[in-house]
Structure 1
Amino acid sequence: MDSDILGSSSTRLAMSKVPEVTVYFWIIKILATTVGETAADYVNMTLGLGLQSTTVVAVILLVVTLVAQFTSTRYLPALYWWTVLLVSVTGTLITDNLTDNLGVPLMATTIVFALALVAVFATWYAFERTLSIHSIRTGRREAFYWLAILTTFALGTASGDLVAEKLALGYLTSLIIFTVVIAVVTAAHYLFKLNMVVAFWAAYVVTRPLGASLGDLLTQPRDDGGLGLSTTATNLVFLAVMVLLVGYLSLTKIDRLEQRDVSHASHNSTGPAPADPR
């Protein structure tokens, strides 16, 4: 009986392509958003590659990585988080191209990307009837998932720059504001039972401007409100922490959705297998 349930649950979740949301998820996500902000600026300005060339390189790398991600039959921490990192860089560059090359105001890009994200979620829900990351086990759902993530990164870059620069609140104040917003969302979920899926995506969107504000605070010149730290050193330190955490997750497998549900199935072995989380 136990083996049947465990086998059924393991098979049912074999196609899970995303990690469980743990504290490690949020730490790596914020690190990836910060690196995405600073790495784009580093390659563009410090290395002198230029905004357009940097964008072309980032998009090519992202396309190749997404092919590997979609081809994979299960969640692989290194591949997944490398994809998130490249999406972070690309999302930053999309906004930078619109504002720096085309002169689109930050207010306009923020509104457009916010509407685009609403459209992505609405279309995703219309087709799949769920926005839960626990349901990412088909190609179409995975496509919606990565499109939503790319849009959140572009939106986060635009909104973060809008608050810090256009509204002249500064990087530290922006960082505090976005941290408070995430704290409010977390409290709303745990204390007032805000829907888990709504809380997740709300927090996911806000971690992008939070990470961008953190990256700018650390690396921008002191005259512009930053701390003037080395962009190279900042990227290396944050990347090193990311690599260590992703390596830990790869070894322990504690963020595998199938492992969580197999554990639930084993615990409830006298009853039916757990329902598909929506």
Structure 2
Amino acid sequence: MLKDFFGKKRKYATVPNEQSKLDIPEGLMKKCDNCHKIYYRKEMNKNLNVCPNCDYHHPLSAWDRIHSLVDEGTFTEWDSGLTSANPLEFPGYEGKIAKDREKTGLNESVVCGKASIGNQSTALAAMDSGFRMGSVGSAAGEKIARAIEQANEESLPFIIFTASGGARMQEGVLSLMQMAKTSVAVKRFSEAGQLMISVMTHPTTGGVSASFASIGDYNFAEPGALIGFAGRRVIEQTINEELPDDFQTAEFLYNHGQLDSIIHRHDMTSTLETLLLMHQKGGEQT
């Protein structure tokens, strides 16, 4: 059914010729991580960081993700000042957090808030793999749980885009506790009859894949996303078997019934608009 939602005309980036490549200052071009073709960075950004040659979905920052989805000027951030501490006094942790804040302009690995998509209000969370590889510590888990609870209070749908290496090792068991905290928040949200949409992007692994990322009413993924709990080598050594080449990809999970659909980044907004409309409370399609 969801394939009928797709159909946006896609825009493609321009491939510079060899002479122009020599004339362009460093930093103005981007090489695809998959096919290694080179494009103008500005035009790749306009193409939502999707390679026009091989369709590889490069990571999007949390703010680029949000701006690509929501109606202009409608996003209001929640809990922007909530930040990580160093509860275990892990050596060098505070310095790494400070560097990631400077690099990304974020206080944490997830941005949460409220916005409109297609003139329909929703709560929204976007994780950023550029901040500690999108890992979830006490602050990130708290932000996600609070966003779900706030969505419940306001009777809003909740949409989350995950991109994470899992629990943040520098916070030990406190980071692992976020799996339970966020999952309980989702359970209460579901029992209240609210809608949750989870979109897993590359990569979604570890404790994130084993908790809130996988328990939405709709579980989607972007093409080619790595999704899984333990690493490939760990699993192969444990079961003493070689795994398929596409193991832990979005396509493998979809083919084995673990995802509802794989959605191209260019089709994401229209798909979300349709789902929000279908589940609009008080409408004909509740």
Sort the TM-score into its range (normalised by shorter chain). Answer: 0.3 to 0.5
Q: Normalization by structure 1: what TM-score?
A: 0.32
Relative to total residues, which structure has the larger helix share, 1 or 2?
1
| TM-score, normalised by the number of residues in structure 2 | 0.32
Question: Whose strand proportion is higher, 1 or 2?
Answer: 2
